[in-house]
Amino acid sequence: MTPLWMPDHPPRQGLGLMRLRDSDPDRDPVTLVHTALDCGITLLDTAEMYGNEELVGRTIAGRRDEVTICSKFGVRWGDSGRRDDWSVHADAATVVASCENSLRRLGVETIDLYYLHHRSEETPIEETVTAMAGLVAAGKIRAVGLSNVTVDDVRRAHAVHPVLAVQEQWSLASRDVEAMLPTLAELGVTLVAHSPTGHGVLHRDTNTPLGAALAEVARTHMARPGQVALAWVHHQGRLRDHPVVPLPGTTSVAHLQLNLAAADLQLTDADLARLEAVS
């Protein structure tokens, strides 16, 4: 089986579909996803928890072969409707059942990259990853990913089955993941950097020192502050010579195109130093 990507040649940027809904007539999900594919963005990210796998499946119908489809399992909402009411389920039986359900909802035969969405306090990661390895052997998934895990989790999981990617938040506003980078580099694991604009805050932040610095750097490049924030994540991978795939999310074609352009923004050493000083 051909690998999804070589560690030294990961996809340039992904498209996060967490917020994708079909309720807004001005933001057609099919147009969004097809525009992304036409522009060369083929890594699409969803999750069982996002409740939109059927919709994502409809957007890729007829273009499955062009897409690297990623989903996640293990986090379930409670019944209260509160945003903090969720729990983790990562035992072997859940791994298998969740995958079958995601495959059906997405309308695909294989999920290219399947992530454990969040570490479990109850289930040893070896049990979870052994079940995921079984899914690889059965052709249900192509590669194993982890999200919201620790360095120790990554090492223990990788000892059971190679981990292709770890998905963690990384932006100028959230830099904890940097402590994990030496381990990922040692193991040859790609970092998929989700929420590179701090869940959108860095697109509109004007009142903080970071917001001011982003606006200042953006002016010199005739760009927008959010584009500079995204370009900063792109630069982190290049600076460290480590495979990093920024994963911005959008439901807007116009924003998608701005985010694509951000990947080409060349920040100078002075720009990077200015941002470093306030992040």
Ligand X SMILES: NC(=O)c1ccc[n+]([C@@H]2O[C@H](COP(=O)([O-])OP(=O)(O)OC[C@H]3O[C@@H](n4cnc5c(N)ncnc54)[C@H](OP(=O)(O)O)[C@@H]3O)[C@@H](O)[C@H]2O)c1
Would you call 235 exposed, middle or buried from its count of C-beta atoms within 10 A (0-12, 13-18, 19+)? middle
**DSSP classification of residue 50:** G
Site string for ligand X, 42-71 (x = CB under 6 A): ---x--------------------------
Nearer to ligand X, 7 or 200 (CB): 200
**DSSP-derived pairing of the beta strands 43-45 and 68-73:** parallel
Count other Cβ atoms within 10 Å, centred on residue 238. 10
Q: Is 115 a catalytic residue?
A: no
Token pair recorded at residue 19: 């917020």
Site string for ligand X, 15-44 (x = CB under 6 A): -xxxx-------------------------
d(CA 210, CA 205): 8
Q: The tokens of 140 are what?
A: 């249900």
Catalytic residue, chosen from 5, 50, 115, 170, is 50
226 binds ligand X (CB under 6 A): yes
d(CA 44, CA 70): 6
Shortest Å, Cβ 18 to ligand X: 3
- The label of the residue with tokens 């991978």 reads 237
List the structure tokens of 66: 């062009």
Identify which of residues 89 and 255 has a Cβ nearer to ligand X in the complex.
255
**Would you count residue 120 as binding ligand X (CB under 6 A)?**
no
Which one-letter amino acid corresponds to residue 214? L
Residues 124-183 binding ligand X (CB under 6 A) are 147-148, 167
Determine the interface stretch with ligand X among 84-92, 128-136, 172-180, 188-196 (rule: CB under 6 A): 188-196
Q: Look up tokens 């957007």; give the residue.
A: 59
Task: Please say which residue, 2 or 25, places its beta carbon nearer to ligand X.
Answer: 25
Q: Which listed residue (105, 119, 255, 274) binds ligand X by CB under 6 A?
A: 255
Instruction: Please give the residue whose beta carbon sits closest to ligand X in the complex.
Output: 16
Exactly one of 123, 190, 236, 251 binds ligand X (CB under 6 A); that residue is 251
3-state secondary structure of 244: strand
* Cβ-contact 203, 229 below 8 angstroms: yes
Cβ 206 to ligand X shortest distance, Å:
13
The answer to whether the CB of 13 falls within 8 A of the CB of 41 is: yes
Is 225 a binding residue for ligand X by CB under 6 A? The answer is no
Residues interacting with ligand X, by CB under 6 A? 16-19, 45, 147-148, 167, 194-200, 203, 226, 247-252, 255, 258-259
Positions annotated as catalytic residues are: 50
